Structures are given as structure tokens and as C-alpha cells.
Amino acid sequence: MSTITRELAKLFRKITNSEIDAEGNAHVVLSPADSLLINNARIALASLEAEPVCVIDQSNLDYLKSGSDADVWPASRAEMGDVLLYRSATPAPVSVPAAMEMDDDFDSAFEHGKAVGWNACRAAMLQGGK
């Protein structure tokens, strides 16, 4: 277990007053947003711990870009200036949901809060990492 996962587990324990078992299962009922956040943290951790599977130099990378074949070497033979290649899944395209309309005549505080939260999450998605 790395430092990041220990810190994540400590934060989770502090926020929810619960534990995560060895398989990564939480023993509480979480909101979908909380579950998504924890899952994204696990994915981020996995990408931080990824190791290169091979290396390629710049000239061979240019061959690949032009559609030709190129040589790659084991990651153990990496030299200064080589490009490290990782094996990972292609990220899924992100689609931002439509904004939720808010009426001036609030039928319930819950619906208003839901719309405010939805639109705040949508705005954060549109901002990306800016």
C-alpha cells in the first residue's frame, strides 16, 4: 500500500467514521457522488503506480507517426531522451450533462438544492483543470 492510499483511507475514515477492508470495500452506504470520488481516486492511484512496458527513441517515434514500422526496446534499456510507453486503457470521452433549470417559485428546498448542486458539478466539469 502506498502513501497515497494510506492517506486516502485515513481521510475516508475521518469523513465517514468507517473503514475500508483489504479488498477496498467500504462498510457504509455512500452517495453515488462519494462512490464515484473514491473510484476515481483508485484509478488515479493506479495510473501513478503504472510502470513503462517499453521505450522508443524520437526517430523511431517519428517513423510511427508517419505510418511506418518502428523498433521499441524493453523499459530496462531506457536512455536519456527516450519516450516511455505505458500500457493503459484509453480514457472514455467525457460528456457534460445539461444544466438543470431553476424556477423562481421553489416547490421544495430539496429540488432547489439539487439543481444548485447539479449545476455546480456541471460547472466544475466544464472548467476541467483550469
Q: pLDDT tens across 70-91, in order? A: 888 888 888 888 888 877 666 6
Residues 5, 49: Cα–Cα separation, whole Å = 11
Predicted pLDDT of residue 12 = 62
Rg (CA), the chain: 22
Per-residue pLDDT band at 42 (split at 50, 70, 90): confident
Tens-place pLDDT, residues 43-75:
777 777 777 888 888 888 888 888 888 888 888
Tens-place pLDDT, residues 5-17:
667 666 666 666 5
Q: Measured between alpha carbons, how far is residue 5 from residues 17, 44, 67, 89, 112 in Å?
A: 17, 10, 41, 21, 36
Q: Which three cell numbers stand for residue 36?
A: 464515484
Predicted pLDDT of residue 22 = 65
Per-residue pLDDT for 1 more than 60? Answer: no
- CB burial class (10 A; 0-12, 13-18, 19+) of residue 79? exposed
